[in-house]
Chains A and B, each alone.
Chain A
Amino acid sequence: MIEIKDLTKIYKLNKRQMAEAKTKDPYKRAVDGLSLTAKEGEIYGLLGPNGAGKTTTLRCIATLIKPTQGEIYVNGHEVQKESEKVRDSIGFLTSDIKLDEQFDVNYMFDFFGRVHKMSKSEIENRKAVLFPYFGIDEFASKRIKELSTGMKQKAAIAVSLVHDPDIIIFDEPTNGLDIITARGVTDYLRKLRDEGKLIIMSTHIMSEAQKLCDRIGMIINGKKIAEGTLAELLAVTGAKDLEDAFFEYYKQAEEVEA
């Protein structure tokens, strides 16, 4: 289970960043008082435009960055106090994180297996599950730098799942993938959900969120503006699909801001 309580993340901007953002305020609230709970056996989608705070939230959960305020619990472990335990129980994937291209997929998979203290046989067993599913066998011994974008993404997903984590955190998992590979990824996420795993993912692709997510949290300017199942969000807004519902909430948020 992931429990986020009043998460706030404030970045201090340097002069160049302030000039780029056309602001005189040296502080940027990337996430502003966000709270949410995601449970086992569900796919929780963080939905929002670019710069809404989705990636920052996921990076805070993954212990890559520290919250300025608030608390995050992953399977009962507080992310700042028990960061190693948190990292051991999650599989994290984002486009910012890459596998060392000097190595082949096999080496990287084995390496991260060993990092998670898995035995050789446990690693081989996971390989037997994941490699055929993502079609990695045919390029497993190739160096990552020789692979296509889709192959690299498949390899990255497999490596992030090497230790069979209970919680999977994916930041825009289908970003840059062709339609067939993207479908393979979303199908696998459903499979993991059905196995009782918790998946929390960010996306700005409305159709993907609509089809895939059991619950959706909409974020704008670091604040959660709505949360619920697809049916609940549509019922409240009276919209016909998630995209319309999102714009309805977006409009309301803009009016409140004004």
Chain B
Amino acid sequence: MDGIKQIFGKELARIFRDKKMIFSTFILPVVLMVGLMTLVGNLAQGMMKDLEDHEPVVYMMDAPASFTSFLEMSEITYKEKVITDEAQLKKAKAEIKSGKADLIVEFPVDFEKAVADYQVGDNLPQVKTYYNPSEEYSGVAYDQISNQALEGYRQALLADRVGDVSTLTVFTVNSDNDEAIIQDEEKASGKAAGMMLPYFITLLLFAGAMSIGTDMVAGEKERGTMASLLVSPLKRSSIALGKVFALMVISGISALIYVVTMVFFMPNFTGAAGGDMGSAIKLSLSPGQIGMLVALMITLSFLYASLIVFVSVFAKSVKEASSYVMPAYILILVLGMMTMFTTKAPGMESFMIPVYNNTLAIQGVLSSTITMPQFLLTLGETIVIGAVFQFLIVKAFNSEKLMSA
């Protein structure tokens, strides 16, 4: 036990006695993440504002006076250009394609008369609009004028024709029902958080342990410092366990910093991006839920640390170890991502798949849907697999071929 403590202390000291290591391990990744997400949020916000501020260039062909006055009454601002013949229409279409103009609205000749003289069985007059979905400005103009304004205009003409448009509506859905949504707010916010947080927690636990873990074993072998431990009276199992436990703590701290940062900053990022996700991530956890989350994170850290140390034992250098660990990282990335797109409640068999079960379990704890057998199965299986890796690590540490190469 004392040997484990000594190695554990040394490995932690290696990080925490060095300001540069603290910065590069815990602070820099978070600063980069916050910086990057803030930048993305600001850029998205800037783009939205730019789209809102843009005055679309709209070509009108044979537009009736009632439509232009309808547009003037609405709050839509646009730069109108009038075209009168096919040659001008062709030129306008070329401008739409090149992005110089945003929308063409082509009415049939004598549109108002055709609407007024309509008899049952007549062909309906058709308004044609042309836009370029590849251009953001054009897409917005299409949505505002073709979808919204023309629909409003159609409703107005319909009201003129039938007198009371509500006679055609038959019924409405939730027009004055403010209580349509019935849900447990706690569960709802947990579900929103549960979409992403479990994925990020499982991924970040691994990512936080990856570079430090490979350096702890393969790096020590490469630098020749592992041999100094191997000729000391420490048991090989103590060296291995000390390293795994230290790695667990480091990856746990790293993941915790990430998660706390995400929970605090996510509303700002998503708010800046114009989404409504920010308001959804409001975590309110009971002590029981916190306890379950901590237990899951500790056992998962143990599994990850054991896996990374095990893989690193086979490498002679950090570079080699990183290439060995990468497939495991990709697998964890995919397994974690799978939980983001599940709709059915997971069955007991889903909690038997390593790593995937932890992401599901964290998701279940956050949304208060996990059962105790599911939680215990996840916890137990993770500990057993971690222990198997631990056994293999000790075997590997005793291998002359692996350790004295």
Contacts and interface: CB of A to CB of B under 8 A. Distances in A.
B371 interface: no
Contact of B233 (A66, A99, A103, A116): A116
For the complex, would chain A's binding face be called helix, strand, loop or mixed by DSSP majority? loop
Interface string A78-112: 00000011011010101011111111000100011
B125 interface: no
Contacts of A63: 231
A101 B223 contact: yes
A204 interface: no
Interface in B5-37: 6, 10, 13-14, 17-18, 21
Nearest to B403: A64
A65 interface: yes
Contact of B228 (A88, A98, A114, A116): A98
Contacts of B227: 64, 94, 96-98
A64 B404 contact: yes
Given A87-B231, A98-B228, A100-B223, A114 B14 contact: no
Contacts of B400: 64-66
B231 A62 contact: yes
Interface residues of A, number: 29
A103 B9 CA distance: 13
B223 A115 contact: no
A92 B231 contact: yes
A59 interface: yes
B18 A102 contact: yes
Nearest to B232: A115
Interface in A5-45: none
B168 to A, nearest CB: 79
B404 A65 contact: yes
B385 interface: no
B207 interface: no
A103 B13 contact: yes
A247 B316 CA distance: 38
A189 B232 CA distance: 21
A31 B224 CA distance: 23
Interface in A223-255: none
Contact of A97 (B2, B3, B13, B224): B224
B234 interface: yes
B224 A84 contact: no
Interface in A45-87: 59, 62-66, 84-85, 87
Nearest to B18: A102
A183 interface: no
A87 B233 contact: yes
A116 B231 contact: no
A100 B226 CA distance: 9
A158 B7 CA distance: 20
A117 interface: yes
A212 to B, nearest CB: 23
Contacts of A102: 14, 18, 21
A117 B230 CA distance: 16
B232 A114 contact: no
B6 A111 contact: yes
A66 B220 CA distance: 21
Interface string A102-136: 11000100011011110000000000000000000
Interface of A: 59, 62-66, 84-85, 87-88, 90, 92, 94, 96-103, 107, 111-112, 114-117, 159
Given A111-B10, A112-B232, 11 more contacts: A63-B231, A87-B231, A90-B231, A98-B224, A99-B228, A100-B10, A100-B225, A101-B225, A112-B228, A115-B6, A116-B232
17 contacts: A63-B231, A64-B404, A65-B400, A84-B234, A87-B232, A94-B227, A97-B227, A98-B227, A100-B10, A100-B220, A100-B225, A100-B228, A111-B6, A112-B228, A115-B6, A115-B234, A159-B228
Sort A-B residue pairs by CB-CB distance and give the 10 closest, nearest first: A88-B233, A98-B224, A97-B227, A87-B233, A100-B225, A92-B231, A115-B232, A97-B228, A65-B400, A84-B233
